[in-house]
Structure 1
Amino acid sequence: MAEYRIDDLARVSGTTVRNIRVYQDRGLLPPPIRRGRTAIYTDAHLSRLRLVTNMLGRGYAFAQIAEMLAAWESGRSLADVLGLEEAMGVPWSSELPVPITVRELRRMFGTQLTPGNTRKALQLGLLRRQGAGLVVPSPQLLEAGYELVRLGVPLDEVIDLAGVLQQEVDHVAALMISLVRRYVLDPKGDDWLPRGDEVGHYADVLRRLPTVVISAVTAAVARSTERVIPDMVGDRLEALLRSGGQTSD
């Protein structure tokens, strides 16, 4: 089980230290574990924090969220609640957000890092503001974008592509997860919640689900790449042969 200081929890969850303290004051987030003067947070806190921010984003008020959380916890032991919440809090990716400066971004993208491109990256979540600085939620995605720009693809096109890519992957992942939800998580209807003796099973499902989805999507992308790249090369060779081997200067 991962452990976090409050700054780390804010960074991983994409919120702020101030928000975390507000949620604690409102009773929406359990108090941290105390080790001397150090406050330690766990995956259970991360999961609860993600749940709270998601519900706030859906328009629920603090009081409504507190009422629903109390209803969920009612009749369940602390071990039941923490077991399921820790499973929900397991990261779907081994990536951790990393801070980055505007100077570092300019070093990577040069004059293509315009205010417009920066705003677009923030809107799409490719960059995120945290305090007075910036954070990259996915360093791997940033690196892929950097390589495309190095190959000659304009940065604004790369940013647009990242937005489309996220939408497409969201759709594919949602298809897989909807099947698991229909046949495994919600077999008795959307309003049903697992009993105490069932929590372990559902916690295990949630722990295994990320690996299944990521493996399937990765394999599908690899197979698609094997088809698409040779097709592109074949198209170029065919055009070259039709032109008699002549190329433009």
Structure 2
Amino acid sequence: MVAEYRIDDLARAAGTSVRNVRVYQDRELLPPPVRRGRTAIYSDAHLARLRLILAMLERGYAFAQIKEMLDAWQAGHSLADVLGLEEATGAAWSHEQPAIVRMADLVRMFGAQVTPATIRRALELHVLERHGAHFVAPSPKLLEAGRELVTLGVPLAEALRLAAELQTETDRITALLVGMVRQYVLDPKGPDWLPSGDELPHYADVISRLHPLVMSALSAAVDRSAQRVIPQMMGDRLIAMVEKARRRDGAEPGA
């Protein structure tokens, strides 16, 4: 399903302002939206292009330089291929569909631990995002993991602290992996290198393969880690519980 955004949703998703989105449109860096009556509708391709513009601005490129590079890519290849590269750099990164979460849902999941302080912290961590009168969970799986921890007896505030640490560590590891691809695949060609029209599909393919590569590597590493760490940290408690059960049943420990 193709995501659709109004201008305020687009700006929020990219981490910029509505005013900036309009400026980029005026400078012809961002394609015009589709019109449905009086409503402007943006797509994942717009979000990808916007993220690419923001990344270029952060690296110090001027508007004119950004437009020149985008025009050069577009002249060397079809618009579909250019948007394909843009989507590879951002639009298709999330494989989870965000879920609307109402206050009643949060109370059902976390009970009395839903307080202004825990909601504020969840918003700071982007575990939740505010959309009108409701919230949106960008990652329902992450929210469900938090619910499971709280159900087991972990305080919600501690679960949120863990979410912050997980984000920091996964960002660091992801940056290491992606940095290796950039170092050995893209950067040897020079910091100002840009692919030609004929090269564009290949490098779009390289970038598009990063998300599944990161997911596969992290998933495998976490699985192996869980197999090692869970027995190490919980084994003594399990043995103690088994021995207590044996004593209760009249058996000798170690028999």
Name the TM tier (shorter chain).
Answer: 0.7 to 0.9
> For residues 143 and 12 of structure 1, what CA distance do their matches in structure 2 show?
27
- Cα 1:68–1:102 change in 2 (3 A) is farther
Equivalent positions of 1:1-249 (< 5 A) are 3-7=2-6, 10=9, 14=13, 18=18, 22=22, 23-25=24-26, 27-33=28-34, 41-52=42-53, 58=58, 66-76=63-73, 77=75, 78-79=78-79, 80-238=81-239
Between 155-164 and 13-22, report the one with greater CA deviation: 13-22
Shift of 1:129: 2.2
Shift of 1:185: 1.9
3-state SS of 1:14 partner: helix
Preserved contact between residue 83 and residue 199 of structure 1 (Cα < 8 Å): no
Shift of 1:54: 5.3
- Cα 1:238–1:12 change in 2 (3 A) is farther
Shift of 1:176: 0.5
Shift of 1:241: 8.2
- Cα 1:73–1:8 change in 2 (3 A) is closer
> For residues 21 and 131 of structure 1, what CA distance do their matches in structure 2 show?
21
Preserved contact between residue 13 and residue 47 of structure 2 (Cα < 8 Å): no
> For residues 47 and 136 of structure 1, what CA distance do their matches in structure 2 show?
20
> For residues 202 and 10 of structure 2, what CA distance do their matches in structure 1 show?
30
3-state SS of 1:75 partner: helix
Identity across aligned pairs (percent)?
A: 51
Preserved contact between residue 7 and residue 18 of structure 2 (Cα < 8 Å): no
> For residues 11 and 95 of structure 1, what CA distance do their matches in structure 2 show?
17
**Structure 1, residues 120-151: CA drift from partner, whole Å, max 9, x if none?**
11111111123443221110000000011001
> For residues 59 and 188 of structure 2, what CA distance do their matches in structure 1 show?
27
Aligned residues: 242
Shift of 1:189: 2.2
**Structure 1, residues 98-138: CA drift from partner, whole Å, max 9, x if none?**
22222221221111011111111111111112344322111
- Cα 1:227–1:75 change in 2 (3 A) is same
Preserved contact between residue 3 and residue 40 of structure 1 (Cα < 8 Å): no
TM-score normalised by L of structure 2: 0.79
Shift of 1:168: 0.7
Q: Unpaired runs of 5+ in structure 2?
A: 249-255
3-state SS of 1:94 partner: coil
Amino acid in the other structure paired with 1:5: E
- Cα 1:99–1:224 change in 2 (3 A) is same
Amino acid in the other structure paired with 1:67: A
TM-score normalised by L of structure 1: 0.81
> For residues 240 and 37 of structure 1, what CA distance do their matches in structure 2 show?
66
Shift of 1:19: 5.9
Find the structure with the greater CA-based Rg.
2
**Structure 1, residues 159-204: CA drift from partner, whole Å, max 9, x if none?**
0000000111111111110000001122222222212221111001
> For residues 41 and 83 of structure 2, what CA distance do their matches in structure 1 show?
15
Shift of 1:237: 3.8
Shift of 1:31: 1.3
